A and B are shown apart, each in its own frame.
Chain A
Amino acid sequence: MRMYNIGYFFSQAFKGIWRNGLMSLAAITVLLSCLVLMGSFSLLVYNVNVNIEEVAKLNEIVVIVDTEATDEEVEALSGKIHALDNVSNVVFVSKEEGLESERSRYEEYSYLFDSIAENNPLPDVFKITYEDNSRVANLVYALGKFDHVSKVNNRTDIANDIESIKSGVSFIFIWFLAILFVVSIFIIINTIKIGVESRSREISAMRYIGATNFFMTTPFIIEGIIIGLISAGIGYVLQSTLYNAIYNAMSGEYKMIAVAPFADVQNYILLGFVVIGVVAGMVGSGISLRRYMKV
């Protein structure tokens, strides 16, 4: 390919987009709508996962220490707990702190706690949060084996429920996203195909002049790539604007659900939009042109 042809192909591609304005606009609109739809759905899946993980983080194991244990023995137990795998945080609540906590919880009846202050019946406890729900049973087993542990209270049932909800939600969402992706690609390719077919006379005239398949197809393929890039660019701006508006609306002081900031995912969204846009544009043009490539 001669160098001056590269410039020519690009100029033809831009002219093609401009002079077939309505079809180009239709292709860009459809493509960016599909991209924003897929992007929104991906962000929804991402945020659902983030929230499920947040809920999972609320789960904790409470280790009740034997009331007979000395301070040194409690100290040693603390060291062993910290050394365990799958432990993200350990909070020690002494029996005195436990009593104060109960007193403040039932403030109106605080005088009742005075009578038991001398002989505090509450045990020392460790509140443990963990990283991975799926391995919580192993952690509970290990804690139960330590000396001076009177009891291990945990909510394995909730942990298991959360884990299965997360897997179920991910499974459904990933399939839904895959279907949405296939449908979107189909719509995009068809829109580009209509655009190319509206120029079938132009393509057949090129053949009679003696244009090679490469010469005929290259400007159309470049056109598809440019349409893909324009759609990805506009789609990205639209997506970030929409998402940030929702993020700002939902990130009040008393927010019920966590919304991940757009910055966490912006690179993935941009990359996804560019790749899907360019591939859809290119494949759409390629498939549409194939039928005109007979001799």
Chain B
Amino acid sequence: MIEFNDVSKIFPNGTVALENVNLKIEDGEFVFIVGASGAGKSTLMRLLLREEKVSSGVLRVGDYDLTKIPNYKIPYYRRQLGMVFQDFRLFDKKTVYENVAFAMRVIGEPTSVIKRRVPTILSIVGLVDKYKNFPSELSGGEQQRVALARALANNPRIIIADEPTANIDPKMKMEIMNLLAKINSKGKTVIVVTHEKNIVDHFQKRVITIRDGHVVDDRIGGMFDDENV
């Protein structure tokens, strides 16, 4: 479970990015986080990744209290998350296979396990045939699928996707979102930050709307509310 209790984030220059945010996301939920640029979505993501510390309040993810976690434990916490970014953040100089395998190397999986598991994950995202390719040889949609495969490599409890469909063609957008829905159906928590109204409206999942650092709307089966955003 992810729990924000009165979480605020104030940057050293005085900017209030989030103020008294209260949220609960249960295990296995699919949540869209929507809001205009500068609303506080990115800060929320950065807090979840523990790239930033909360200024006040309590933020818990599973067994971890992110307000108290020591620095040396942060890499181990992040292994519970699968991150997908709008700019993919793949390793340009590694092949598709190596990109996925790297995530498993990080947690110390032996080569025999990696060799067995990587093809399975690549088959889930439909990229088995392209395991030898470098990211530069793939389309935007394919690169995002590699990113998704890498996020899934260590069987994380939570998938966080930050604008996962922003840099890919319209046809591939639905494919990526369907993949995320499929992953969610296997019991994983999926959090998607997006601007895309048609995607939010299509999936009819829980929608959390953030404006000026506050949660202004939170409803299950919600729609992208232009007025709130």
Given contacts A2-B108, A4-B111, A215-B106, contact A210 B78 (CB under 8 A): yes
Q: Is A16 an interface residue (CB 8 A)?
A: yes
Q: Which of A73-81, A171-179, A201-209 contacts B (4 or more CB under 8 A)?
A: A201-209
Q: Is A211 an interface residue (CB 8 A)?
A: yes
User: In the complex, which residues of chain A have a beta carbon less than 8 angstroms from the beta carbon of B91?
Assistant: 202, 205
Q: How far is the CB of A18 from chain B (nearest CB, A)?
A: 9
Of all chain A residues, the one with the shortest Cβ separation from B90 is A205
Q: Is B105 an interface residue (CB 8 A)?
A: yes
Q: How far is the CB of A197 from chain B (nearest CB, A)?
A: 14
Q: Is B180 an interface residue (CB 8 A)?
A: no
Q: Is B161 an interface residue (CB 8 A)?
A: no
Q: Is the CB of B102 within 8 A of A209?
A: yes
Q: Is the CB of A209 within 8 A of B111?
A: no
Q: Is the CB of B78 within 8 A of A208?
A: yes
Of all chain B residues, the one with the shortest Cβ separation from A204 is B89
Of all chain B residues, the one with the shortest Cβ separation from A1 is B108
User: In the complex, which residues of chain B have a beta carbon less than 8 angstroms from the beta carbon of A212?
Assistant: 75, 106
CA distance A5 to B102 in the complex (A): 12
Q: Mark B27-58, 1 if CB is under 8 A from A, else 0.
A: 00000000000000000000001110000000
Counting from the closest, the 7 A-B pairs by CB-CB distance are A210-B79, A210-B78, A19-B93, A205-B89, A211-B106, A210-B75, A212-B75
Q: Is A8 an interface residue (CB 8 A)?
A: yes
CA distance A209 to B101 in the complex (A): 11
Q: Is the CB of B50 within 8 A of A210?
A: no
Beta-carbon contacts under 8 Å, B66-92 to A: 71, 74-79, 81, 83, 85, 89-92
CA distance A209 to B82 in the complex (A): 7
Q: Mark A12-38, 1 if CB is under 8 A from B, else 0.
A: 000110011000000000000000000
Q: Is A256 an interface residue (CB 8 A)?
A: no
User: In the complex, which residues of chain B have a beta carbon less than 8 angstroms from the beta carbon of A207?
Assistant: 75, 78
Residue from the set A202, A209, A210 with the largest chain B CB neighbour count within 10 Å:
A209
Of all chain B residues, the one with the shortest Cβ separation from A212 is B75
Q: Is A58 an interface residue (CB 8 A)?
A: no
Interface footprint category on A: 20 to 34
Q: Is the CB of A208 within 8 A of B83?
A: yes
Q: 9 extra interchain contacts, Cβ-Cβ under 8 A, other than A15-B93, A206-B102, A210-B79? A: A207-B75, A208-B78, A208-B85, A210-B75, A210-B81, A211-B106, A212-B75, A215-B106, A295-B51
User: In the complex, which residues of chain A have a beta carbon less than 8 angstroms from the beta carbon of B150?
Assistant: 209
Of all chain A residues, the one with the shortest Cβ separation from B98 is A15
User: In the complex, which residues of chain A have a beta carbon less than 8 angstroms from the beta carbon of B107?
Assistant: 210
Q: Is the CB of B106 within 8 A of A206?
A: yes
Q: Mark A118-158, 1 if CB is under 8 A from B, else 0.
A: 00000000000000000000000000000000000000000
Q: Is the CB of A209 within 8 A of B93?
A: no
Tell me how many residue pairs across A and B have CB atoms closer than 8 Å.
Answer: 59
Q: Mark B192-215, 1 if CB is under 8 A from A, else 0.
A: 000000000000000000000000
Q: Is the CB of A5 within 8 A of B75?
A: no
Q: Is the CB of B93 within 8 A of A5?
A: no
User: In the complex, which residues of chain A have a beta carbon less than 8 angstroms from the beta carbon of B12?
Assistant: none
Q: Is B121 an interface residue (CB 8 A)?
A: no
Q: Is B110 an interface residue (CB 8 A)?
A: yes
User: In the complex, which residues of chain B have a beta carbon less than 8 angstroms from the beta carbon of A19?
Assistant: 93
CA distance A262 to B83 in the complex (A): 58
User: In the complex, which residues of chain A have a beta carbon less than 8 angstroms from the beta carbon of B71?
Assistant: 295
Q: Is B103 an interface residue (CB 8 A)?
A: yes
Q: Is the CB of B93 within 8 A of A16?
A: yes
Of all chain B residues, the one with the shortest Cβ separation from A5 is B108
CA distance A214 to B111 in the complex (A): 19
Q: Is the CB of B108 within 8 A of A209?
A: no
CA distance A15 to B102 in the complex (A): 13
Residue from the set A5, A207, A215, A295 with the largest chain B CB neighbour count within 10 Å:
A295
Of all chain B residues, the one with the shortest Cβ separation from A8 is B105
Of all chain B residues, the one with the shortest Cβ separation from A208 is B83
Q: How far is the CB of A20 from chain B (nearest CB, A)?
A: 7
Of all chain B residues, the one with the shortest Cβ separation from A20 is B93
Q: How far is the CB of A112 from chain B (nearest CB, A)?
A: 90
User: In the complex, which residues of chain A have a beta carbon less than 8 angstroms from the beta carbon of B106?
Assistant: 206, 209-212, 215
CA distance A4 to B107 in the complex (A): 12
Q: Mark B101-132, 1 if CB is under 8 A from A, else 0.
A: 01101111011000000000000000000000
User: In the complex, which residues of chain B have a beta carbon less than 8 angstroms from the beta carbon of A8?
Assistant: 105, 111
User: In the complex, which residues of chain B have a beta carbon less than 8 angstroms from the beta carbon of A210?
Assistant: 75-79, 81, 103, 106-107, 154
